[in-house]
Chain A
């Protein structure tokens, strides 16, 4: 067995804040703000008009291209506005829906289909229709990932249950609560991909999840080769390339995609949602998230409708204990900090953290003392200090040979730097420069 990837860091896990908190359903918000670009790729195009009545799960915007995703209404109600709003990472168009009328999914028993009777193409079609995207945070359209070009032979499906970001426990809870569904969903995606092997990789700090999946797997008599593997707890164990390496020993070539080594990776949350989409014909209009951090009164794992604003969530989670120093959407390593509570939960929102001053990094940065910690931490084997110094001194001529484009933006370098240097940010600037140069 491989000991895992080189480098990486061990930040305080802080999972205890929301760990083992069973899922609670958050109430449906009065107003939903649904951005049209919640995924990687082209924004979706609205297919509803202001004043129109919509049902729960109705298509409100359709994929704007091959790499794009459909968007559905999270609530029954009326479209009151289509306007630009602030989202996690940009300002963009959103459909605003005011809830009214009956909820079909909560009221009616769902119709279930046996996916085993469906052809792979039909399963894929349903996943695409349902607007499923990667729920681990990247929000890459799932159907695109599941339809690799014909010349790429896929032989392993890797299920990402590593959840290496501190604080976040939503995938952990998902695996503990729905082990059967996740294995079933894994089998379903294996059928789509035509593979006979799947590995579910979980960091070994989630013992209950590992056990739940192992026990369930043992109790099911299935023909596929599915293995549950506990991985060393080390950030960024859940980064695609690192996860593939830890589980298979294969290195995804620089600049390449996992399919080049015959692998497709899907997050456990995505698999869960994809299965619901196929079996219950349920589009992606709600998701599970972790709400955590020292400043929220009721941290935990919640099921929320997409489009719910952070302010509504704060209210439902017992309010704030005081002024948070920082609010982060996603995990503390890769998430984005926000300054407004009006921002809605979108498909890629895995968590919302209300952090106190002592939980976040503060303070200025100073010059590099060449301690080498960033070099030791980098899972890609870059030399982040050199990149940072070059960018800081505006010596962009030096950056290209330092290969900034190989950086996976995991932030391990910045985390380790005793001089507080925003290394991954510097590298992002270097990336932008190199990309511009290549055009």
Chain B
């Protein structure tokens, strides 16, 4: 499609005659670049299999897109990098010991069913990577929710989590087998059997040693979510490069923080700030808020819409974490808000200049 023609060697087109240097392709590849530090850290901490998973998901996402477009005789657009992002995000969203065939199927599902069937880049309603994640979660829940790498060990950047609250060794071992959010959800049950109160679990999870592990990334979790530090580096890069705006990440993360503060204050925790930090740094919040909720296609177009979207994501995330059936709610919250996006767009049309 073009509105440009050439006459006597001169280009004729409508104004404007200049344009921003950011093309779709450039934007997508910059997003890929911004995810590399966190993905590389995941590979570093979880080992070669993590690399196999990421590679398998990227290759199959690209292959799925090319294949689909070739079969339907459409223009093959994998060079735009959007399928690479989807593949990379799928790889980063599975536990480090998941089977490779699973991410291959997941990538095909994400690209073909969630993205291409709706019309391809720009027309899909749901974030393809998150659609794939939900699909894998429903199909292979065991692979998706177990096989965490225990976080009592240490890696080159961070020592193991200390048993700050003085939990019995047996309880400490059991709890650190899961993800931190899993421990928050399942911990009370495990500890009850040992006649230990929830206060001690909180003391452990909301300790400074725990927060440090969460920040640097020495915890159990899916491949790409563990290091808040590296995710923040990528996120700040995207903000600085103006690929994304602050609206979604800040409102998303801010809402989780405010709700955590309110909830733990009401619960009588002496230092709710540590609980707030725990919630902000754990799970896929950084990954989701900076890289998945900000997916342009599936989030609102106006600033006001983005803020509502972010607040909605944050609220749903926190509700699922505390009261829901899953330990973690970031991906479902984003998917739910994806579904609400057309509605949000409708009701957040900016007030036109000069109209009362």
- Chain A residues in the interface with B (C-beta under 8 A): 5-6, 9, 11-12, 166, 241, 245, 251-256, 323-328, 332-340, 353, 355, 359-373, 375-376, 379-383, 385, 403, 406, 409, 411, 414-420, 422, 424-425, 428
Residue of A251, A255, A361, A428 near B19 (CB, 8 A) is A361
Are the C-beta atoms of B12 and A339 separated by less than 8 Å?
Answer: yes
Bound: A428/B14 CA distance, A: 10
Give the interface SS of chain A, mostly helix, strand, loop or mixed: loop
User: Residue of B at shortest CB range from A359?
Assistant: B18
Chain A residues closer than 8 Å to B299, beta-carbon distance: 370
Are the C-beta atoms of A241 and B23 separated by less than 8 Å?
Answer: no
Q: Tell yes or no: B270 within 8 A of A by CB.
A: no
Q: Tell yes or no: B73 within 8 A of A by CB.
A: no
Chain B residues closer than 8 Å to A365, beta-carbon distance: 1-3
Are the C-beta atoms of A337 and B301 separated by less than 8 Å?
Answer: no
Q: How large is the interface on B (under 10, 10 to 19, 20 to 34, 35 or more residues)?
A: 35 or more
Are the C-beta atoms of B296 and A369 separated by less than 8 Å?
Answer: yes
Q: Tell yes or no: B193 within 8 A of A by CB.
A: no
Residue of A11, A254, A328, A371 near B27 (CB, 8 A) is A371
Are the C-beta atoms of A254 and B121 separated by less than 8 Å?
Answer: no
Interface centre among B19, B245, B349, B356, by most A CB within 10 Å?
A: B19
Bound: A403/B12 CA distance, A: 28
Bound: A422/B353 CA distance, A: 22
Please list 15 pairs of residues, one from A and one from B, whose beta carbons are closer than 8 Å in the complex, sorted by A's number: A5-B353, A12-B18, A255-B354, A332-B16, A335-B15, A337-B11, A355-B17, A365-B2, A370-B297, A375-B301, A381-B351, A383-B301, A406-B354, A414-B14, A424-B14
Residue of A166, A360, A381, A415 near B353 (CB, 8 A) is A381
Give the shortest distance, in Å, between B69 (CB) and chain A (any CB).
Answer: 13
Bound: A327/B9 CA distance, A: 11
Chain B residues closer than 8 Å to A338, beta-carbon distance: 10, 12
Are the C-beta atoms of A369 and B297 separated by less than 8 Å?
Answer: yes
Q: Tell yes or no: B302 within 8 A of A by CB.
A: yes
Give the shortest distance, in Å, between B350 (CB) and chain A (any CB).
Answer: 4
Cβ-closest 7 pairs across A and B: A411-B16, A361-B19, A372-B301, A381-B350, A339-B7, A425-B14, A254-B354
User: Residue of A at shortest CB range from B302?
Assistant: A375
Q: Within residues 339 to 355 of chain B, which ones have a CB less than 8 A from any CB in chain A?
A: 349-355
Are the C-beta atoms of B245 and A376 separated by less than 8 Å?
Answer: yes
Residue of B18, B296, B352 near A360 (CB, 8 A) is B18
Are the C-beta atoms of A253 and B350 separated by less than 8 Å?
Answer: no
Are the C-beta atoms of B122 and A383 separated by less than 8 Å?
Answer: no
Chain A residues closer than 8 Å to B353, beta-carbon distance: 5-6, 241, 245, 251, 254, 379-381, 406
Interface centre among B123, B296, B356, by most A CB within 10 Å?
A: B296
Bound: A156/B1 CA distance, A: 47
Chain B residues closer than 8 Å to A332, beta-carbon distance: 15-18
